């Protein structure tokens, strides 16, 4: 079997970023799924275009480049300046040039009729793509709803319209996000997953029935967090431990002032499983916004993989997934998190055999099987 060649275009980052974060993101794990599948002959990873000053800076810093192997190739397109242009015409010019550089890279690396998976909204909307045998857009978030991209929101919404009209296949992490893109071609939902090697390890620690119950949160600490809900949990006598980068200093300060809340700080990916398994319950208290409604929160699946009961805000997307609905106690925004937490404590942890089965069901490899089938022509 010869196998299919694939090209993966990054969202707005590079292979070096993937290495730095431990291949945590949806795009990172898609690359690993493709590299690990015998039906895929070769993968070319395309960095997001960087301006010449930025490329020189990263070169000087010794940033990691994708290794050149029998199965992996890379291309690092360049532009004059890194910032995204501010008009549709300029964006179209940039990403048509980017697409041409990918086409040249595929030719240089002798890829045969490659299947293109692009995570970049502008590349999907405005690239030519005729060099690829097939093309699909893989959407991780509703980028038009990201607060720091508010100035770009009209441009992003226009890009979604172009993707919809193109008829290309669209993969989205939630049904809410897929509905917003409204593809005229085929649309598929692939929820996020977990690293089965990391979460397959048994790292549970014993507990004393007399100690204070511990609720754990692992994820970015930012404006999505419902600080009031966290305060209610802490006031009920539950020890709240929160690990993650503080991306919003105001939210971090508010949480630090709550008695019973411990901010652990950022921890390595390899330490997240042990951190969560040392708790009694995992929780996600988020505010409901257009951004969070369309999310497939990676942390939810990691919480489930820990084997702990999970309490989470019902954001209207991931809660409809059978694996989530059967295992999570969902709370409507502004609802009673304390009662949900008490119910979770009564429910207790999964047995280790059941946890292992759940990890395999939630694994990225299982999630990506429909994508790989379609890229290789086996899917309908």
* Domain CATH for 129: 3.40.50.2000
pLDDT in tens, 240-249: 999 999 999 9
Smallest Cα–Cα separation from 8: which of 37, 36, 34, 39? 34
Considering the domain architecture, whether residues 164 and 241 belong to the same structural domain is answered as no
Smallest Cα–Cα separation from 354: which of 321, 305, 320? 305
Look at residue 380 and tell me if it is in a domain.
Answer: no
Look at residue 126 and tell me if it is in a domain.
Answer: yes
Residue 127 exposure: Cα atoms within 13 Å on the Cβ side: 25
Look at residue 344 and tell me if it is in a domain.
Answer: yes
Considering the domain architecture, whether residues 183 and 291 belong to the same structural domain is answered as no
Task: Report which DSSP code applies to 69.
Answer: -
Considering the domain architecture, whether residues 96 and 145 belong to the same structural domain is answered as yes
Look at residue 272 and tell me if it is in a domain.
Answer: yes
Which class for 236: exposed (0-12), middle (13-18), buried (19 or more C-beta within 10 A)? middle
- Please, are residues 84 and 49 in contact by the beta-carbon 8 Å criterion? no
Look at residue 309 and tell me if it is in a domain.
Answer: yes
Considering the domain architecture, whether residues 58 and 16 belong to the same structural domain is answered as yes
Look at residue 302 and tell me if it is in a domain.
Answer: yes
Considering the domain architecture, whether residues 288 and 153 belong to the same structural domain is answered as no
Domain count of the fold of the chain: 2
Considering the domain architecture, whether residues 13 and 123 belong to the same structural domain is answered as yes
Phi, psi torsion values for 337, nearest 5 degrees: -70, -30
Considering the domain architecture, whether residues 184 and 310 belong to the same structural domain is answered as no
Considering the domain architecture, whether residues 305 and 279 belong to the same structural domain is answered as yes
Neighbours of 227 (CB within 10 A): 17
Structural domain of residue 201, as residue ranges? 196-361
Report residue 18 CA to chain centroid gap: 12
Considering the domain architecture, whether residues 35 and 60 belong to the same structural domain is answered as yes
Specify the pTM.
Answer: 0.91
Look at residue 371 and tell me if it is in a domain.
Answer: yes
Task: Report which DSSP code applies to 202.
Answer: -
Look at residue 14 and tell me if it is in a domain.
Answer: yes
Considering the domain architecture, whether residues 75 and 27 belong to the same structural domain is answered as yes
Considering the domain architecture, whether residues 61 and 103 belong to the same structural domain is answered as yes
Considering the domain architecture, whether residues 23 and 68 belong to the same structural domain is answered as yes
Q: What is the pLDDT along the chain (380 residues), one digit of tens a residue?
A: 578 999 999 999 898 889 888 888 999 999 999 999 999 999 999 999 887 666 666 665 666 666 777 778 888 887 877 888 999 999 999 999 999 999 999 999 999 999 999 999 999 999 999 999 999 999 999 999 999 999 999 999 999 999 999 999 999 999 999 999 999 999 999 999 999 999 998 776 655 455 789 999 999 999 999 999 999 999 999 999 999 999 999 999 999 999 999 999 999 888 999 999 999 999 999 999 999 999 999 999 999 999 999 999 998 778 888 888 778 999 999 899 999 999 999 999 999 999 999 999 999 999 999 999 999 987 65
pLDDT in tens, 75-97: 888 787 788 899 999 999 999 99
């Amino acid at each position: 079997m010869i196998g299919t060649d694939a090209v993966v275009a990054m969202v707005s980052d590079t292979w070096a970023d993937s290495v730095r974060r431990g291949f945590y993101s949806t795009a990172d794990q898609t690359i690993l799924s493709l590299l690990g599948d015998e039906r895929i002959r070769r993968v070319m990873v395309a960095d997001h275009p960087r301006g010449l000053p930025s490329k020189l800076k990263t070169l000087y810093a010794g940033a990691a480049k994708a290794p050149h192997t029998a199965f992996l190739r890379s291309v690092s397109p360049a532009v004059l300046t890194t910032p995204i242009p501010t008009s549709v015409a300029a964006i179209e010019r940039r990403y048509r040039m980017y697409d041409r550089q990918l086409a040249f890279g595929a030719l240089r690396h002798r890829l045969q009729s490659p299947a293109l998976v692009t995570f970049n909204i502008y590349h999907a909307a405005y690239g030519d793509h005729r060099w690829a045998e097939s093309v699909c857009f893989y959407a991780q978030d509703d980028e038009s709803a990201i607060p720091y991209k508010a100035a770009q929101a009209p441009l992003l919404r226009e890009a979604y319209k172009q993707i919809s009209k193109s008829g290309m296949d669209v993969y989205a992490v939630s049904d809410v996000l897929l509905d917003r893109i409204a593809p005229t071609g085929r649309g598929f939902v692939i929820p996020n997953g977990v690293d089965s090697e990391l979460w397959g390890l048994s790292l549970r620690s014993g507990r004393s029935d007399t100690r204070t119950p511990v609720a754990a949160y692992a994820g970015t600490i930012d404006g999505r967090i419902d600080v009031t809900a966290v305060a209610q949990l802490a006031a009920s006598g539950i020890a709240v431990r929160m690990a993650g980068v503080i991306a919003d200093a105001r939210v971090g300060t508010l949480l630090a002032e709550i008695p019973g809340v411990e901010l652990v700080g950022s921890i390595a990916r390899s330490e997240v499983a042990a951190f969560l398994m040392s708790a009694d319950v995992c929780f996600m208290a988020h505010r409901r916004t257009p951004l969070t409604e369309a999310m497939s929160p990676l942390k939810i699946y990691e919480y489930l993989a820990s084997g702990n009961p999970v309490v989470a805000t019902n954001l209207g997307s991931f809660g409809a997934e059978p694996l989530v609905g059967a295992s999570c106690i969902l709370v409507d925004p502004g609802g009673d998190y304390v009662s949900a937490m008490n119910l979770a404590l009564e429910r207790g942890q999964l047995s280790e055999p059941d946890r292992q089965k759940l990890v395999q069901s939630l694994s990225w490899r299982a999630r990506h099987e429909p994508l790989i089938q379609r890229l290789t022509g086996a899917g309908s």
